[in-house]
A and B are shown apart, each in its own frame.
Chain A
Amino acid sequence: MEKKSLSQKLQEGKFVITSEIGPPKGTNIEPHLKEAEHIKEKVDAFNVTDLQSSVMRLGSLATCKLLVDMGLEPVFQLTCRDRNRLALQSDLLSAYVLGVKNVLCLTGDHPFLGDHPEAKPVFDLDSVSLLKAATDLMNGKDMMGNDLDGRPEFFLGAVVSPGYEPLEMQLIKMEKKIEAGAKFFQTQAVYDLKSFEKFMGIVKKYNVPILGGIVLLKTAGMARYMNENVAGVNVPERYISMMAAAKKEERSKVSIQIAAELIKGMKNLCQGIHIMPLGWEKYVPQVLEASGF
């Protein structure tokens, strides 16, 4: 029996779990693939980040292809930071012929934030026009309306930040992403179930699957840093205290406990979760186990 795709599972109403691989700065991809292999039974698809935090690394598309070869399902993260519209459309066609169907379309962080801050920021397209371009390709046309010889098929995704202020501006952009072809959303890290529930109540009308974002807390300092610096993230004081009270060797245990509490709370609110382990891939199985998966 053929394995069901992420798109099919969402369509059938399965609560899906996606995780994330951040390709290394260099060629040493093996450990990352091993981590993925290790948790493949519990995870429906693996996002592969596109030079996350604007740091030059191994590419997302090549890593996605390695996952396809292993029989795993990747979600190709594609940002507008480094490629103009020719390169983006070409990479979309390349992804399809390499067996990569899921594409998460993002604007991308500014190069200023990464390890090549002198780089020219491209942003020829934005997340909305990238989704539209991918939709055009699926319809057999490029952005200029030229015919394609063979058309790709994609399951297009986008991101939304439920804790962003002003939220109304996020919602307007979310509507545009849906209009441009987004069929599922993954969210920024959620730590406050009450406000996430409120957000889900608002976006229910769009009738598009939402995968709630989970970022594993590593230390109390990390939580405070995110509260100070990361847009739309608000870690409640209770979780910060829990992390601060834990001894160094117990931190992962407490982090897993917090993530599990959030995931259990999300089960009845949204259509799946997206775990961003940020280097703590090895704890994903325990997080899922503690959450009842």
Chain B
Amino acid sequence: MLYTETKSFEEIEKLIKQEESIFLLGCGGCAEVCKTADEETIAEIEAKIKETGKSISGKLIVDFMCSKHLLIKRLARYQELLDGCSAILVFSCGIGVQCAGAVSDRAVYPATNTISLGGFQGLWPGEERCAQCGTCYLGITGGICPITFCAKELLNGACGGAKDGKCEIKTERECGWVLIYERLKKIGKLELLKEIQQPRDFRKIEPDAKLRKTIHFDIDR
């Protein structure tokens, strides 16, 4: 069972400040059970975004965003609405955000923080991993996770060790920050790299009692 929590609206607002039109994409799997991707939560964020004068180009809940084939199929039906948005706000775990980034050419921003996978393994067959850091950074890295893709879990850009795009620790491993740089450059968001990121808050990896109190958790007991 995956534990996620919705980011504060101030945080979401900051992430999408440069965007004009947003597509809301939620995951009907664990995130819905956590009440971070249910219709009510998405509607609440939608209303708040509209209040800031931005438009919502569309919204969609996909049963399990971590199923690559399902995600690609479902998104294909919404191509027109996706073409009309400048960015996608994703209500899911970190895997779902990375999947959205991997299958679309729009900027992706997480609306949630992933705190723990709680034993659940995603169905995404790709390389993306979520470290459940509780402070989702995917919105400033073009949908590529700096915690799991960088051997040093760096938050402020590459170290000096990568050569020809490969990590200093293993030549077959790609440098996550080179990938992030290239993705951000491709989607025209390189300025996101320029802000100094604060060190991680390691308290956030522990789900609190409120998050553990879900219906599924009770049934499990």
Give the B-binding residues of A (Cβ under 8 A): 80, 85, 107-110, 112-113, 121, 123-129, 132, 143, 159, 161, 164-166, 168-170, 172-173, 175-176, 179-180, 188, 229-232
> A173–B158 contact, CB under 8 A?
yes
CA separation between A175 and B196, bound complex, in Å? 10
Q: A164-B160, A172-B194, A231-B163 are in contact. Are A107 and B154 (CB under 8 A)?
A: yes
Complex CA gap A212/B201 in Å reads: 36
- The count of A-to-B residue pairs whose CB atoms sit within 8 angstroms is 86
Q: Assess the A107–B178 pair: CB atoms within 8 A.
A: no
Q: Does A123 lie within 8 Å of B193, measured CB to CB?
A: no
**Nearest chain B CB to A287 CB, angstrom units:** 24
- Interchain CB contact under 8 A, A129 and B177: no
B157, B160, B196, B199: the one contacting A159 at CB < 8 Å is B160
Docked complex Cα distance between A159 and B158 (Å): 13
Measured CB to CB, the nearest residue on chain A to B195 is: A176
Query: CA of A174 to CA of B162 in the docked complex: distance in angstroms?
Result: 16
Closest to B200 in A: A124
Q: Known: A166-B178, A180-B196. Contact between A109 and B168, CB under 8 A?
A: yes
A232 touches B160 (CB 8 A): yes
Are B199 and A110 in touch, CB under 8 angstroms?
Answer: no
Q: Flag if B178 contacts A123 (CB, 8 Å).
A: no
Q: Which of A107, A112, A179, A232 contacts B196 (CB 8 A)?
A: A179
Taking a contact as CB atoms closer than 8 A, the residue among B169, B190, B199 that contacts A125 in the complex is B199
Q: Decide: B199 and A129 in contact? CB cutoff 8 A.
A: yes
Chain B residues with CB under 8 Å of A80's CB are 152
B193 / chain A contacts, CB cutoff of 8 Å: 169, 172
Once the chains bind, are B178 and A126 in contact (CB under 8 Å)? no
Task: Flag if B168 contacts A113 (CB, 8 Å).
Answer: yes
CB distance from A143 to the nearest CB of B (A): 7
Q: Give the number of residues in B that approach A within 8 Å (Cβ atoms).
A: 28
What is the distance, in angstroms, from A116's C-beta to the closest C-beta of chain B?
Answer: 14
A172–B192 Cα distance when bound, in Å, is: 10
Which residue of chain B is the closest to A111 with respect to CB atoms? B169
Q: A169, B157: Cβ atoms under 8 Å? A: yes
Instruction: For B168, list chain A residues within 8 Å (CB).
Output: 109-110, 113, 231
Q: Which of B152, B163, B164 meets A126, CB within 8 Å?
A: B152
Contact present for A230 and B163 (CB under 8 Å): yes
A175 proximity list for chain B (CB < 8 A): 194
Q: A113-B169, A166-B178, A231-B162 are in contact. Are A173 and B156 (CB under 8 A)?
A: yes
* Given A107-B152, A123-B152, A231-B168, also A173-B199 (CB < 8 A): no
Q: Which residue of B lies closest to A128 (CB)?
A: B156
Q: In this assembly, does B124 line the interface, its C-beta being within 8 Å of a C-beta of chain A?
A: no
B153 proximity list for chain A (CB < 8 A): 123
User: Which 8 A-B pairs rank lowest in CB-CB distance, beginning with the nearest?
Assistant: A128-B156, A231-B163, A173-B157, A112-B169, A123-B152, A107-B159, A161-B160, A169-B181
**Contact string against A for B residues 197-215, beta-carbon threshold 8 Å, 1 for contact and 0 otherwise:** 1111000000000000000
The answer to whether B160 and A188 touch across the interface, beta carbons within 8 angstroms, is yes
A230 CA to B166 CA in the complex, in Å?
11
Chain A residues with CB under 8 Å of B159's CB are: 107-108, 126-127
Q: Is the CB of B160 within 8 A of A128?
A: no
B181 touches A166 (CB 8 A): yes
User: In whole angstroms, how far apart are the Cα atoms of A164 and B163 in the complex?
Assistant: 8
Complex CA distance for A21 and B152, rounded to whole angstroms: 26
Which residues of B from 177 to 192 have beta carbons under 8 Å from A? 177-178, 181, 190
Q: Using Cβ atoms and an 8 Å threshold, which residues of chain A touch B178?
A: 166, 169
Measured in the bound complex, the distance between the Cα atoms of B161 and A173 in whole Å is 14
Q: How near does chain B come to A45, taking the closest CB pair, in angstroms?
A: 21
Known: A110-B168, A176-B156. A129 touches B196 (CB 8 A): yes
> B151 contacts which chain A residues (CB < 8 A)?
110, 112, 121
Residues of B within 8 A of A232 (CB): 160, 163
Please tell me if the beta carbons of A110 and B160 are within 8 angstroms of each other in the complex.
Answer: no
| Shortest Cβ distance from residue A169 to the other chain B in the assembled complex, whole angstroms | 5
B97 to chain A, nearest CB (A): 22
A80–B170 CA distance with the chains assembled, in angstroms = 20
